[in-house]
């Protein structure tokens, strides 16, 4: 008593499901996934359930059934041999294996056959050994190898390839196809940054902090005029910063050089980076004066000059804030001040002498103030207690004497829930380190 349509319907269903299975994942890709799964074990990953590999967790195929994305972050993946069979997934554009427990080293030619790669995120694993020789993809936009234990130098070919291939492309797709982000922080990388970096004209983020990189900063870095963030902290970079001309880095919002071996006076061109929100020069060997041109940086919220040989920081700051002398002028001077948005202000170990300067009271957005390890004398001024957002104050290791001012017990950010709620709106553009 079958309905005449039901067979036809069933047939169509069967047919379409067969053709779909054939197209979804070809043999090479399937065996690539098989060796991937057998090399890397995970309890969280349930791949055996579906025959069609395009349906498996973390996998995205294009409409022809070729795998284009493999996204398995935070899946508890473990394993010490990274399967080179992954190179057989030729159209792979997005590989995200971040936040797993993958270890071992990557083959030098690991990424050579992945010529369509756009996003490569292997961050937060336990990968060691050298960074692979080269990325061959001209489409590469983002590489994140941070928080691993890679060591050795960054092969100059690693970046050069990306440039070479993108360069050979027509100008109109060049915009979409050049490297925008390098994130290699917290590894054991050594050696200099290749001068080829200047060819990555689309580069926006450069995060290389917490490595053992060394050498001078090549002036070609200033060719990367789209840079928004440069983080070189906790390395061994050296050389005279005054040879660098920052004037074309108009997008630069964060510059962090903390704990390196950089020398020289700060170039005036640095103050033309008007987008700067965070500037940390702490723990280097910079010398000379902070120039009043720093007042042009109206958006600066984070300024750390600590532990340098910058002479007479107090004197320079007096100029910055419009004071000609120690005296407090009449009226409201913060309007003229270029530092009115400053939230984090760190001047520890800056050889400051004299009293705690009164102009600090006019920087009304301060939340974190560090004047420790100087030679400041006199008493702790009561006006510190009037700073509406201050919640973190370091004055240790000075020559301060006298009584503890009661005003400090009334710091709004500490005693009023309302004020505390209003504090912290100034986003900390950089992490604040307490261990020095």
Alpha carbon separation from 337 to 296, 320, 325, 363 (Å, rounded): 10, 7, 15, 8
User: What x-and-dash track marks residues 369-408 binding ligand NAG by CB under 6 A?
Assistant: ----------------------------------------
User: Taking CB under 6 A as the rule, does residue 96 contact ligand NAG?
Assistant: yes
User: What x-and-dash track marks residues 181-220 binding ligand NAG by CB under 6 A?
Assistant: --------------x--xx-x------------------x
As a three-state string, the secondary structure of 354-412 is ECCCHHHHHCCCCCEEECCCCEECCCCCHHHHHCCCCCEEECCCCCCCCCCCHHHHHCH
Nearer to ligand NAG, 195 or 407 (CB): 195
Sign of the CA dihedral 327, 328, 333, 338?
Answer: positive
User: What x-and-dash track marks residues 315-354 binding ligand NAG by CB under 6 A?
Assistant: ----------------------------------------
Please list every residue from 22 through 41 that binds ligand NAG, using CB under 6 A: none
* Burial class of 22 by CB neighbour count within 10 A (0 to 12, 13 to 18, 19+): exposed
Phi, psi angles (nearest 5°) of residue 57: -55, 130
Q: Which of 157, 296, 312, 386 touches ligand NAG (CB under 6 A)?
A: 157
Contact 150, 187 (CB under 8 A): yes
Sign of the CA dihedral 91, 93, 99, 102?
Answer: positive
Contact 374, 347 (CB under 8 A): yes
Cα three-residue angle 144-147-150, rounded to 5 degrees:
85
Host H or E run for residue 290 = none
Sign of the CA dihedral 40, 42, 47, 48?
Answer: positive
Q: Which of 7, 38, 236, 378 touches ligand NAG (CB under 6 A)?
A: 236
Nearer to ligand NAG, 263 or 361 (CB): 263
Q: Which of 35, 103, 263, 312 touches ligand NAG (CB under 6 A)?
A: 263
| Interface segment toward ligand NAG; rule CB under 6 A; list 106-114, 156-164, 314-322, 354-362 | 156-164
Nearer to ligand NAG, 301 or 314 (CB): 301
Partner residues linked to 409 by β-bridges: none
Binding-site size, ligand NAG (CB under 6 A): 41
The Cα 178–Cα 163 span in angstroms is 7
Nearer to ligand NAG, 135 or 363 (CB): 135
The Cα 416–Cα 427 span in angstroms is 20
Q: Which of 128, 180, 340, 361 touches ligand NAG (CB under 6 A)?
A: 128
Please list every residue from 105 through 124 that binds ligand NAG, using CB under 6 A: 119, 121
Shortest spacing between CB 170 and ligand NAG, in angstroms: 16
DSSP character at residue 41: B
User: Taking CB under 6 A as the rule, does residue 142 contact ligand NAG?
Assistant: yes
User: What x-and-dash track marks residues 293-312 binding ligand NAG by CB under 6 A?
Assistant: ------x-------------
| Interface segment toward ligand NAG; rule CB under 6 A; list 5-13, 110-118, 205-213, 241-249 | 241-249
Nearer to ligand NAG, 376 or 413 (CB): 413
Shortest spacing between CB 152 and ligand NAG, in angstroms: 6
The Cα 407–Cα 157 span in angstroms is 60
Q: Which of 35, 238, 291, 340 touches ligand NAG (CB under 6 A)?
A: 238
User: Which DSSP string corresponds to 261-279?
Assistant: EEEEEPPGGGGG-TT--EE
User: Taking CB under 6 A as the rule, does residue 75 contact ligand NAG?
Assistant: no
Q: Which of 151, 153, 312, 334 touches ligand NAG (CB under 6 A)?
A: 151
Partner residues linked to 310 by β-bridges: 288
The Cα 324–Cα 155 span in angstroms is 52
Q: Can you tell me which residue has the tokens 């804030």? A: 321
Cα three-residue angle 148-128-137, rounded to 5 degrees:
80
Both tokens assigned to 79: 């394993």
Both tokens assigned to 332: 């409201």
Q: How many Å separate Cα 105 from the centre of its chain?
A: 24
Nearer to ligand NAG, 260 or 398 (CB): 260
Shortest spacing between CB 381 and ligand NAG, in angstroms: 28
Which spans of this chain sit near ligand NAG (rule: CB under 6 A)? 46, 49, 73-74, 96, 98, 119, 121, 128-129, 142, 144, 151-152, 157, 160-161, 164, 195, 198-199, 201, 220, 222-223, 236, 238, 240, 242, 245, 247-248, 261, 263-264, 274-275, 299, 417-418, 421
């Amino acid at each position: 008593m079958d309905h005449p349509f039901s067979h036809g319907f069933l047939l169509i269903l069967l047919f379409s499901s067969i053709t779909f299975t054939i197209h979804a994942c070809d043999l090479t890709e399937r065996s690539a996934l098989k060796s991937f799964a057998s090399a890397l074990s995970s309890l969280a990953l349930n791949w055996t359930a579906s025959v069609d590999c395009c349906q498996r967790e973390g996998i995205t195929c294009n409409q022809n059934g070729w795998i284009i994305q493999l996204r398995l972050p935070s899946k508890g993946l473990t394993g010490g041999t990274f399967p080179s069979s992954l190179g057989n997934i030729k159209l792979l554009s997005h590989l995200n294996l971040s936040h797993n427990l993958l270890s071992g080293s990557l083959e030098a030619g690991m990424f050579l056959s992945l010529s369509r790669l756009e996003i490569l995120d292997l961050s937060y694993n336990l990968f060691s050994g050298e960074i692979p020789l080269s990325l061959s993809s001209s489409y590469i936009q983002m590489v994140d190898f941070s928080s691993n234990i890679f060591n050795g130098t960054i092969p100059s070919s690693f970046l050069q390839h990306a440039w070479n291939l993108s360069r050979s492309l027509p100008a109109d797709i060049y915009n979409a196809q050049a490297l925008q982000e390098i994130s290699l922080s917290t590894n054991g990388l050594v050696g200099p940054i290749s001068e080829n970096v200047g060819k990555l004209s689309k580069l926006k983020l450069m995060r290389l902090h917490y490595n053992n990189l060394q050498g001078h900063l090549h002036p070609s870095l200033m060719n990367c005029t789209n840079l928004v963030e440069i983080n070189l902290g906790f390395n061994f970079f050296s050389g005279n910063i005054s040879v660098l001309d920052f004037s074309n880095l108009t997008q630069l919002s964060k510059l962090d050089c903390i704990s390196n071996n950089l020398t020289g006076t700060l170039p005036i061109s640095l103050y033309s980076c008007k987008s700067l929100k965070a500037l940390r020069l702490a723990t280097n060997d910079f010398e000379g004066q902070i120039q009043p041109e720093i007042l042009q940086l109206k958006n600066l919220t984070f300024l750390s000059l600590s532990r340098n040989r910058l002479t007479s920081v107090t004197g320079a700051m007096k100029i910055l804030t419009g004071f000609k002398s120690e005296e407090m002028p009449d009226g409201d001077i913060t309007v003229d001040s270029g530092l009115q948005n400053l939230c984090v202000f760190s001047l520890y170990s800056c050889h400051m002498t004299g009293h705690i300067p009164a102009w600090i009271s006019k920087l009304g957005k301060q939340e974190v103030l560090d004047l420790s390890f100087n030679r400041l004398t006199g008493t702790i001024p009561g006006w510190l207690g009037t700073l509406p957002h201050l919640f973190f104050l370091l004055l240790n290791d000075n020559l301060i004497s006298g009584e503890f001012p009661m005003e400090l017990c009334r710091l709004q950010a500490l005693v009023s829930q309302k004020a505390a709620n209003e504090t912290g709106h100034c986003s900390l553009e950089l992490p604040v380190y307490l261990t020095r």
